[in-house]
A and B are shown apart, each in its own frame.
Chain A
Amino acid sequence: MNEFQDRRTIQEIVRNARTVAIVGLSASELRASHFVGYYLQRHGYRVIPVNPNEERVLGEKVYPSLADVPEHIDVVDVFRDPAAVPEVAREAAAVGAGALWLQFGVISPEGARVAREAGLAVVMDRCLKVEHARLLGRMHWMGFDTGVIAGSRS
């Protein structure tokens, strides 16, 4: 586990975030980013697609960059080449986002450092959909280890 997979940080983001900008959200239903965007929408998050190559994805207007998004962003969720992450991190800081979330395989220690120094919470090499499904959703119905141990009814 790296320093950007703190369990408390992950819990707070999953529980408290409302608006998620997905950088690199694909219009293809078979891409991981589309699975995540669809899932987050279903579970009540406001999903804002950011992708210079698309116009509408998942029924939402697509913005070419984070700077073009006209509302507050809680989480910037990144599906991009790791080399693009430091710039995305600077943009996320510039628009006042609360957290930078880098998906499975999007590993950029520099991008993570840039965001953290700007005061953002950072999670790296984790999936936002999986973490929601693990902590609040139904991932335990599929035989995955959620790590949730509880004998009380909360």
Chain B
Amino acid sequence: MDEALRDFGFNTRAVHAGQRPDPYTGASATPIYQTAGFVFEDTESASAYFNLQEYGNVYSRIMNPTVAAFEERLANLEGGAGSVAFASGLAAQAGLFFALLEPGDRIAVAKALYGGSTAQLNHLARKLQITLDWVDMDDPEGWRRAVTAETKALFAETIANPGGNVLDIELAAAVAHEVGAPLVVDNTFATPYLCRPFEWGADLVVHSATKFLAGNGTTIAGAVVDAGTFDWSNGRFPSIAEPSSAYHGLKFHETFGVYGLLMKLRSETLRDFGAVLAPFNAFLLVLGMESLAVRMDRHVANALAVAEWLREQAGVSAVRHPALADSPYRPLVDRYLPAGAGSVFSFDLESGRDGGRRFIEALSLWSHLANVGDTKSLVIHPASTTHRQLSDDELAASGVAPGTVRLSVGLEDVDDLLWDLEQGLRAARGSTVAA
């Protein structure tokens, strides 16, 4: 039993972490524990589980062994102490901020953010009396200018959706720690294969596991991962360090140390939110993550090939892929994303809103849908879908041009992807003649 003495590589951990052969049956694949409750051994054990004195399964709204296999695998790959899964990425984010924040607190948030996250944070701010300080993450002084004595967290995406802005993680972490706040990074677009924010000073990572972690576009899922290194007893986080009224006076940080926030997230936040991940969905995630590294290498290569090809095409005015040689983010990519900058990026058509519509309608292989990080190549035209109520001026204010198209490049043969894009570009330029 010396396996715990070896530092295993990323691929080995992606295949094995969190999942051991089932001790009862020998099952090699992760069993799907499709059960609501778990029978207690005896009354003493039952109360020990409820009192958090012993690790035991109680109820699948709080924990489940299949879900735990996903949680441990993700925590292991990120280099964290542990993780708590939620029903979606947005549920994970809401749960984390609900656990961290008190009315009157502030959080500094990157402006370049997934629209769903922006909407959620605005909603939380209104309901919970939180103030959001929006930050230009490309400005080296942006974070420092935004933080105040009330700032309780800094939040940004490793690679922003859809702008492709790359976060200077070390810089943001340094500012966060100067004010005694954690840096929370949404690592969805990078995955732990391309970037591990904890290695650069981040304290917490959130994921929409729906994307590259699941890999096949099968599952809505999310998670919070804790590095286990933040000092919650610094006087700024009473809900984690002081006796909890929601758990009969328990001091989570003092009692559970590096696992304090995770215990609180599970035994209070998830318990009370109820936004729990289903065991079958966790099974799909565990399965998907086994091939994470192999898939990401292909995603990265295909996306870069498509981006470089698009730059040469008539009717394309801009390609925003952060790993392109002339991208303003290229130095940050070299530093934080040496194995690649993912496979989601956007480009602009000269032919504007109508051109975008013609482009989408002419495609036959790429799927027009609102997801990213699938094995299949996906495309969306914000001006005719997610942002269609906005005028051209309002679009510009949200960082989207009328002709902006977002791509999520999948694992198909690149030649086939380019063939289809060529059909779309020809239509966007106004030609109705088929090749």
Contacts and interface: CB of A to CB of B under 8 A. Distances in A.
Among B4, B23, B263, max chain A CB count under 10 A is at B4
Given A127-B257, A150-B20, A142 B63 contact: yes
B80 to A, nearest CB: 6
Interface residues on B, range: 35 or more
Nearest to A146: B72
Interface stretch (B10-18, B344-352, B360-368): B10-18
Contacts of A135: 4
Contact of A151 (B16, B250, B255): B16
B117 to A, nearest CB: 23
Among A11, A29, A140, A152, max chain B CB count under 10 A is at A140
B5 A11 contact: yes
B255 A31 contact: yes
B48 interface: yes
B53 A147 contact: no
Contact of A142 (B16, B21, B23, B68): B68
Interface in B35-60: 48, 51-57
A127 B81 CA distance: 13
B85 interface: yes
Given A32-B254, A39-B53, A11 B75 contact: no
A39 B52 CA distance: 10
B380 to A, nearest CB: 33
A145 B53 contact: no
A30 to B, nearest CB: 6
Contact of A145 (B5, B17, B57, B251): B17
B83 interface: yes
Interface string A36-64: 00110010000000000000000000000
Given A150-B21, A151-B16, A145 B257 contact: no
26 contacts: A7-B5, A30-B251, A35-B52, A42-B53, A42-B54, A130-B259, A137-B55, A138-B54, A138-B56, A141-B55, A141-B57, A142-B63, A142-B262, A142-B263, A143-B63, A143-B71, A143-B72, A143-B262, A144-B75, A144-B259, A145-B75, A145-B81, A147-B76, A148-B3, A149-B16, A149-B17
Given A30-B248, A144-B75, A145-B82, 13 more contacts: A8-B5, A31-B254, A42-B54, A130-B257, A133-B55, A141-B68, A142-B55, A142-B63, A143-B67, A143-B262, A149-B3, A149-B13, A154-B1
Interface of A: 7-8, 11, 29-32, 35, 38-39, 42, 104-105, 127, 130, 133, 135, 137-154
